Structure 1
Amino acid sequence: MMDIKLNANRESGITFDPSSVPSKKFAKTRRALSSSAPPTVAFIGFFLVWEALVRLIGLNALTLPAPSSVLSELFGHLSFYLPHAWTTLYEAIGGFLLGSVLALTGGIIMAHSRLIERSLLPLAVLANVTPISAIAPLLMIWFGFGALPKVLIAAIVTFFPMLVNSITGFRSVDANNYEYMKSLHASKMEIFLKLRLPNSLPYLFSAARTCVSLSVMGAVVGEWSGSTEGLGNLVMLSSNNMQMNQVFASILLLALMGIILTNLVRLVERRVLSWHSSEQSKG
């Protein structure tokens, strides 16, 4: 059968060149490189400019250490920094998961009831506008100096953006699709699972990308309020002792942590929303 097709192509003047069809693996690699190259170049350029300015101007290391000395400090004492990074990481992830679950639960309830939304949303706004630095000491008094208050602070920071996006996402359904499902006598659960939830996923992932980095910030603020572990505690102690290499090494780890967590959420988003137009348009 293959020979017949090839002969027919030759007779019609059409030739098939297997090399003209790029492999899917090569296409995926090319897309990955094209998406990661710009930020990589930007980061390298930023650190090169930083290094050059420090050396040319001759800044004191107590004012601004060079990136080379910061990296030397970090990789030279990696076993010292990793336990602190792990502490901050599980506090941030715990707070992100807790805040997201509570926000999604509240979003589902408020999306189905305007009365409940008008009653409870002002309380969520109040919690959001209250400075975390004012709440953190209270949580330390109530729950001690362990991981729990840091997780709660990270959850509070995460809660409001996820709540607002979930309400918007669950309500942003096409009216025609909604009326069609109602005409089929679909239950509220069926409408939620087949219409509201799929439609809300872009909103939820958009909020998750923001909230996962905010949870790191929340964990750090909690560690500043009272802790013996974590990168936030290390930044505070190092700055008090004027150990600037330790300060910037800790900040660098926090930045990497936020970038990695955000990219993990983005990776899950691409997998889950592969059917959505927002992902298909990116090729």
Structure 2
Amino acid sequence: MNPSIPKSGSVQASQAKQPAATRIKLPEDRFDSRLKRTGFNLLPPLLTFVLIFVLWEALIWLLDIKLVILPAPSGIFGELFGEFSFYLPHIWLTFYEAVLGFMLGMAAALLLGVLMSQSRLLERALLPVAVMANVTPIVAIAPLFIIWFGFGALPKVLISAICAFFPMLINSITGFRAIDDNNHEYLKSLHASRFEIFLKLRLPNSLPFILSAARTCMSMSVIGAVVGEMSGASKGLGNVIMVSSNYMQMERTFAAIFLLAIMGIGLTSLVRLAERKLLHWHSAE
């Protein structure tokens, strides 16, 4: 006797009776959940900033603090939105110097990290030089770079790259070496070459270390670009801060500082987003 074929209505009814955890999520459901998650992540810091600005404004009004000492948030935002066209070329230049310096410093650190992770002798020879460059105050190096490379973007990019270099170097060496010995021995038993071991084992294992360092390096690259602009430049947010503070234009000074903070948060958030996409397999994500 042939088994009876269930009608379409009974199939729909059986699907409706399935637990919610086993149902297939529609694109609309995924979008709603992603939107809720984004709102949940953004709401606390936004409320915190609003509270800080409200208390700041109230403190200025209650204590009658002079503008040359501390401007009110209302004056800062009025300056920022009223003269935003003035800030645009400075924002772009600082952004360009920071991002290019970050990429240059990251590339140099990864290249050197690969070589030093494969050779203890090379690490012992070069790591003290890297440490010396890292502990030397960047404000002492920046004027020399201005003298050597001029007042253009090049010295700022190089200073930014130096700031991003050392954290990436240390994390890359650690990541390339922090591998599972059993996996390493297994690949060696298959007669895998050093390049194949690096590609299949060391590189994937190092990604959490590298991307975690990238967040720190991105913020450091912004700091490096600003230090370079303060040492000698005609444009850039660092130059705006230096010139406006010399002329006691405190609202403009704080507006430029606020833009730098937004730039740093935005760039770091982009790195964090890339980390989430690339490390979806990692247990910490």
Give TM-score scaled by structure 2 length: 0.92
Counterpart of 2:157, as a letter, is V
Mapped to 1, the partners of 2:69 and 2:46 lie a distance apart of 26
Q: Could you tell me which residue of structure 2 aligns to residue 5 of structure 1? A: 11
Q: Which letter maps to 1:157?
A: C
Letter in 2 for 1:250: A
* Other-structure match for 1:152: 158
TM-fit CA distance, 1:151? 0.4
For residues 59 and 115 of structure 1, do their structure 2 counterparts lie closer, same or farther at Cα, with a shift above 3 Å needed? same
What CA deviation, in whole Å up to 9, does each residue of 1:205-232 have, x standing for no partner?
1110011011010001001111000000
| Structure 1 position 18, deviation (Å) | 7.6
In the TM superposition, residue 15 of structure 1 has moved relative to its aligned partner by 2.9
Deviation string, structure 1 residues 105-160 (Cα, Å, up to 9, x no partner): 01000111111000000000000001111111111111111100000000000000
Query: 2: distance between equivalents of 1:225 and 1:16?
Result: 66
RMSD over equivalenced CA pairs, Å = 1.9
Unpaired runs of 5+ residues, structure 2, are 1-5
Give me the whole-angstrom Cα distance separating, in 1, the residues matched to 2:149 and 2:55. 45
CA–CA distance in structure 2, aligned partners of residues 77 and 206 of structure 1 = 36
Counterpart position of 1:31 = 37
Instruction: Choose from 194, 198, 207 the match for 1:192.
Output: 198
The corresponding residue for 1:137 is 143
Equivalent residue for 1:227, pick from 221, 225, 233: 233
C-alpha distance in 2 between matches for 1:209 and 1:217 = 13
| 1:3 shift after superposition | 3.3
Measure, in 1, the Cα distance between the counterparts of 2:122 and 2:104: 21
Q: Which runs of 4+ in 1 moved over 4 A?
A: 16-22
Q: Which amino acid aligns with 2:175?
A: G
Q: Deviations over 1:63-83 (max 9, x none)?
A: 111111100000000000111
Q: Any idea what SS the aligned residue of 2:179 has?
A: coil
| 2:242 counterpart of 1:236 | yes
The equivalent of 2:258 in structure 1 is 252
Tell me the amino acid that sits aligned with residue 253 of structure 1: L
Which stretch shows the higher mean deviation, 95-104 or 55-64?
A: 55-64
**CA distance 1:66–1:33, shift in 2 (3 Å):** same
- Rate the CA distance shift 1:6–1:89 in 2: closer, same or farther, 3 A: closer
Secondary structure of the residue that 1:123 maps to in structure 2? helix
The one-letter amino acid paired with 2:39 is: L
Shift of 1:17: 8.1
Q: Deviations over 1:175-223 (max 9, x none)?
A: 1111111111111111111111111111111110011011010001001
Q: Between the two proteins, what is the percent identity of the paired residues?
A: 58
Provide the secondary structure at the position in 2 that maps to 1:278: coil
Distance 2:243 2:66 in 1: 20
How high is the TM-score relative to the length of structure 1? Answer: 0.93
Structure 1's 180 and 38: CA in aligned 2 closer, same or farther, altered over 3 A?
Answer: same
Q: Distance in 2 between matches of 1:18 and 1:264?
A: 33
